[in-house]
Structure 1
Amino acid sequence: MEKRKTFGGSIGFVLAAAGSAVGLGNIWRFPYLAARDGGGLFLVIYIVLALTFGFTLVTAEIAIGRKTKQSPLTAYGVLNKKWTWLGWLSSIVPFIILPYYCVIGGWVLKYLIAFITGHGVDAATEGYFTDFITSKAEPIVMMFIFLLLVCIVIYLGVNKGIESFSKIIMPILLVLVVGIAIFSLTISKTDDSGVVRTGVQGLKYYVIPNLDGITIKKFFTVVMDAMGQLFYSLSVAMGILIAYGSYVRDDANLPKSINQIEIFDTVVAFLAGVMIIPAVYVFSGTEGMSSGPSLMFVALPKIFASMGKIGNLIGVVFFAMVLFAAITSAMSVLEAIVSGMIDSDKNYNRGQAVIIEFFIAFILACLVCFGYNDLYFEFKLPNGAVGQILDIMDYISNSILMPIAAIATCILVGWVIKPKAIIEEVEKSGDKMGRKGLFTIMIKYIAPVCLFILLLMSLGVF
Structure 2
Amino acid sequence: MAKKKNSFSGSLGFVLAAAGSAVGVGNIWRFPYLCAKDGGGLFLLVYLVLVVTFGFVLLTTDVAIGRRTKENALRAFGTLHPKWKFVGYLTFLVPMLIMTYYSVIGGWITKYFFEYLTTSGRDVAEDGYFTSFITEKNAPLIFTGIFLALTIWVVYRGVEKGIEKFSCFIMPGLILLVIGIAIFSLTLSYTDADGTVRTGIQGFLVYVRPDFTGLTVKGFLEVLLDAMSQLFFSLSVSMGIMVTYGSYVKDEIDLNKATNQIEFFDTGVALLSGMMIIPAVFVFLGRDGMASGPSLTFISLPKVFQAMGGAGHIVGLAFFLMLGFAALTSCVSVMETLVANCMEVFGKTRKQMCVMVGSYSLLTAVLICLGYNVLYFELKLPNGSTGQLLDVMDYISNSFLMPIISFLTSILIGWVVGPKWIVEEVEKNGEHFSRAGMYSFLIRYIVPAVMLVLFLVSTGFINML
TM-score interval, normalised by the smaller of the two chains = over 0.9
- Shift in Å at residue 290 of structure 1? 3.6
Query: Percent identical across equivalent pairs?
Result: 55
Cα distance in structure 2, aligned partners of 1:291 and 1:396: 24
Per the alignment, residue 445 of structure 1 pairs with 445
Q: Secondary structure at the match of 2:198?
A: strand
- Shift in Å at residue 212 of structure 1? 1.0
Per the alignment, residue 356 of structure 1 pairs with 356
What residue identity is the alignment partner of 2:365?
Answer: A
Cα distance in structure 2, aligned partners of 1:379 and 1:431: 51
- Shift in Å at residue 196 of structure 1? 0.3
- Shift in Å at residue 291 of structure 1? 5.2
What residue identity is the alignment partner of 2:104?
Answer: V
**1:136-175 matched pairs, under 5 angstroms:** 136-175=137-176
Per the alignment, residue 319 of structure 1 pairs with 320
What residue identity is the alignment partner of 2:325?
Answer: F
Contact 2:229–2:398 at 8 Å: present in 1 too?
no
**1:215-294 matched pairs, under 5 angstroms:** 215-290=216-291, 293-294=294-295
Per the alignment, residue 407 of structure 1 pairs with 407
- Shift in Å at residue 230 of structure 1? 1.0
Contact 1:93–1:402 at 8 Å: present in 2 too?
yes
**1:58-97 matched pairs, under 5 angstroms:** 58-97=59-98
Per the alignment, residue 11 of structure 2 pairs with 10
Contact 1:105–1:327 at 8 Å: present in 2 too?
yes
Give the length in aligned residue pairs: 461
What residue identity is the alignment partner of 2:411?
Answer: I
What residue identity is the alignment partner of 1:449?
Answer: A
What residue identity is the alignment partner of 2:457?
Answer: M
Give the direction of change, closer, same or farther, for the CA distance of 1:408–1:174 in structure 2 (3 Å limit): same
**1:119-198 matched pairs, under 5 angstroms:** 119-198=120-199
Per the alignment, residue 382 of structure 1 pairs with 382
Per the alignment, residue 418 of structure 1 pairs with 418
Question: Which segments of structure 1 move beyond 3 Å, counting only runs of 4 or more?
Answer: 290-293
Q: Secondary structure at the match of 1:197?
A: strand
- Shift in Å at residue 231 of structure 1? 1.9
Question: CA-to-partner distance for each residue in 1:371-398, whole Å, 9 max, x for gaps?
Answer: 0110001111111111111000000111
Cα distance in structure 2, aligned partners of 1:9 and 1:312: 39
Q: Secondary structure at the match of 2:115?
A: helix
What residue identity is the alignment partner of 2:459?
Answer: L
Cα distance in structure 2, aligned partners of 1:378 and 1:434: 49
Cα distance in structure 1, aligned partners of 2:36 and 2:4: 47
Per the alignment, residue 109 of structure 2 pairs with 108
Q: Secondary structure at the match of 1:249?
A: coil
Contact 1:100–1:368 at 8 Å: present in 2 too?
yes
Q: Quick check: 224-233 or 322-331, which moved more?
A: 224-233
Q: Secondary structure at the match of 1:189?
A: strand
Q: Secondary structure at the match of 1:136?
A: coil
Contact 1:28–1:292 at 8 Å: present in 2 too?
no
What residue identity is the alignment partner of 2:419?
Answer: P
- Shift in Å at residue 448 of structure 1? 1.3
- Shift in Å at residue 321 of structure 1? 0.3
CA RMSD of aligned residues (A): 1.2
- Shift in Å at residue 293 of structure 1? 4.3
Per the alignment, residue 31 of structure 1 pairs with 32
- Shift in Å at residue 2 of structure 1? 10
TM-score (normalizing by structure 1): 0.98
Contact 1:38–1:209 at 8 Å: present in 2 too?
yes
Q: Secondary structure at the match of 1:4?
A: coil
TM-score (normalizing by structure 2): 0.97
Cα distance in structure 1, aligned partners of 2:429 and 2:155: 28
- Shift in Å at residue 226 of structure 1? 1.3
Contact 1:19–1:325 at 8 Å: present in 2 too?
yes
Contact 1:24–1:322 at 8 Å: present in 2 too?
yes
> Where does structure 1 lack aligned partners over 5 or more consecutive residues?
none
- Shift in Å at residue 99 of structure 1? 1.9
Question: CA-to-partner distance for each residue in 1:204-237, whole Å, 9 max, x for gaps?
Answer: 0000111111223322322222112112211011
Cα distance in structure 2, aligned partners of 1:269 and 1:3: 33
> Where does structure 2 lack aligned partners over 5 or more consecutive residues?
none
Q: Secondary structure at the match of 2:299?
A: helix
Q: Secondary structure at the match of 1:384?
A: coil
Give the direction of change, closer, same or farther, for the CA distance of 1:291–1:99 in structure 2 (3 Å limit): farther
Cα distance in structure 2, aligned partners of 1:153 and 1:412: 34
